[in-house]
Structure 1
Amino acid sequence: MDRKGWVMRAVEALRLATFKEIQRYLDEEGEPFSKKELLDTLKALVAEGLLEEKEGVYRPARKKGSAEAFRRLFGD
């Protein structure tokens, strides 16, 4: 699994998590990340719309619905 996969797995398992909680989860799973590496991955996932961040707390992005999935699959 790549970095983004591990971070998504951690956030999905924790549901709402701070940077330190995500880092602790990854350490316990045997996938230690450096602070910079984890922060860069979190920022990338937020930019891609896979995670939401508010006041230092991360969570999986809300689903947009079937219309959004259809639009992404087939374009406009």
Structure 2
Amino acid sequence: MDRKAWVMRAVEALRFATFKEIQRYLDEEGEAFSKKELEDTLKALVQEGKLEEKDGTYRLARKKGGEEAFEKLFGG
């Protein structure tokens, strides 16, 4: 798995998680990230719309429902 996949797996497992909680989860899974690697990966996932961040807590981005599915099928 790449870094993004590991971080997504951590957030899926934890549901709502701070940076430290995500870091701890990854350490326990044997995937130690440097602080900068984890910060960069979290920022990238937020920019891609896969994660949401509020007050230092991360969670999976909410699905946009039918509109998102329509755009994927027909190219919006």
**TM-score, scaled relative to structure 2:** 0.96
Unpaired runs of at least 5, structure 1: none
Residue 4 of structure 2 is matched in structure 1 by 4
Residue 17 of structure 1 is matched in structure 2 by 17
Alignment RMSD, CA only? 0.8
Q: Where do residues 20-35 of structure 1 align in structure 2 (5 Å cutoff)? A: 20-35=20-35
| Alignment coverage as a number of residue pairs | 76
**TM-score, scaled relative to structure 1:** 0.96
What displacement does 1:66 show? 2.1
Residue 39 of structure 2 is matched in structure 1 by 39
Q: Deviations over 1:15-73 (max 9, x none)?
A: 00000000000000000000000000000000000000000000000011022122123
Unpaired runs of at least 5, structure 2: none
Secondary structure (helix, strand or coil) at the match of 1:53 reads: strand
In the TM superposition, structure 1's runs of 4+ consecutive aligned residues that sit over 3 Å from their partners are none
For residues 69 and 42 of structure 1, the distance between their equivalents in structure 2, rounded to whole angstroms, comes to: 24
Identity rate, percent: 82
Residue 63 of structure 2 is matched in structure 1 by 63
